[in-house]
Amino acid sequence: MAFFFSVEPRNLRLGLATDGFNPFRTLSSKYSCWPVMLVMYNLPPWICMRRENIMLTLLIPGPKQPGNDIDVFLQPLIEDLQELWNRGTNVYDAFTNSYFNLKAILMWTINDFPAYGNLAGCTTKGRKACPLCAENTCSLWLTHSKKFSYMGHRRFLRPHHPYRTKKKWFDGNNESGGKPRILNGSQIASSLKDFRNDWGKYGKKKRKKDNDSVYMWKKRSIFFELSYWEVRIIPNFNVIFIINK
């Protein structure tokens, strides 16, 4: 059975966007509502980002934010997306007055950094905060400020760059390391294939530090249910902006 995707121009390319907001005007009530929206990139740029063309698909109620349990709420949407990828759906095209089989692919997600952690299932705070560097995240605990600082940025410079030896300008050390390897999607998927997800905010036990390589992962994201998701070069969660807390 032949599987067409890119040859058919009408097949949909989607992006998923989510973030929390307080729907009540009075800031005295703390309530977090999480809408999940789909953007259709097939459309021209002057149309695709308009309010009327961004589809609201899910409205996740509060009062607290879903956090990592957002996967529970994404189930109906992911099932529909799977159906649209595996089988497609028969749709009438009013422009050509004919039926065709419509498929859709979810290309990326659009969110801020904390929501990135919720969707991807990786930690975004603390010692191993970088989703790309993973265990190789360079972090430094500042004892007096009582927070983590991430000073390993000189690793990305070319090998004999002068900044690598400027100890006093940076953290007091020479930087001799190289760029860390970024895990690709299939490596992440295979390391998480036996991960048992634990939903719900009731009676959570503290996780043991038994397996270091998956320690920074909090769940096996529901996006891996989409068969094309792991075939990515890098974890494909787009960050639109990072909130500095």
Partner 1 sequence: MIAGDSENILCPCKDCRNLSYLHTEIVYEHIVIWGMDPTYTTWFHHGEQLTNNEKQHDGGPSEILNLYKAAYAQDADSGEQVEEMLDDGFSNFLEEAEAPQVEERLDDDMINFLEEAQKPLYPGCKKHVKLSATLVLYKHKVMNRWSDNSFNGLLSILRDMLPEGNVIPDSISSARKLVKSFDNEYEKIHACKNDCCLFRKEIEGVETCPKCGSSRWQVDKQTQKVRKGIPAKVLRYFPIIPRFKRMFGSSEMSKQFRWHFTNKSEDGNMRHPVDSLAWEMIDKKWPFFFQ
Cα separation, 101 vs 84, whole angstroms? 9
Quote the least distance from Cβ 159 to partner 1, whole Å: 26
Provide φ and ψ at 202, rounded to 5°: -110, 130
Residue 75 touches partner 1, criterion: CB under 8 A: yes
Strands 147-149 and 55-60 turn out to be unpaired
Residue number, 128 or 220, with CB nearest to partner 1: 220
Residue 236 touches partner 1, criterion: CB under 8 A: yes
**Distance of alpha carbon 59 from its chain centroid, rounded?**
18
Quote the least distance from Cβ 222 to partner 1, whole Å: 12
Residue number, 142 or 233, with CB nearest to partner 1: 233
Extract the tokens encoding 171: 């953290």
Using CB under 8 A as the binding rule, the residues of this chain from 28 to 57 that contact partner 1 are 38, 40-48, 50, 52, 55-57
Residues 15, 108 contacting (CB under 8 angstroms): yes
Cis peptide bond N-terminal to 9, omega within 30 = no
Residue 98 touches partner 1, criterion: CB under 8 A: no
Strands 104-112 and 12-18 turn out to be parallel
Positions in the binding site for partner 1 (CB under 8 A):
1-7, 9-10, 12-13, 15, 38, 40-48, 50, 52, 55-61, 66-67, 69, 72-73, 75-77, 80-81, 83-84, 89, 91-97, 102, 104-105, 107-108, 199-203, 228, 231, 233, 236
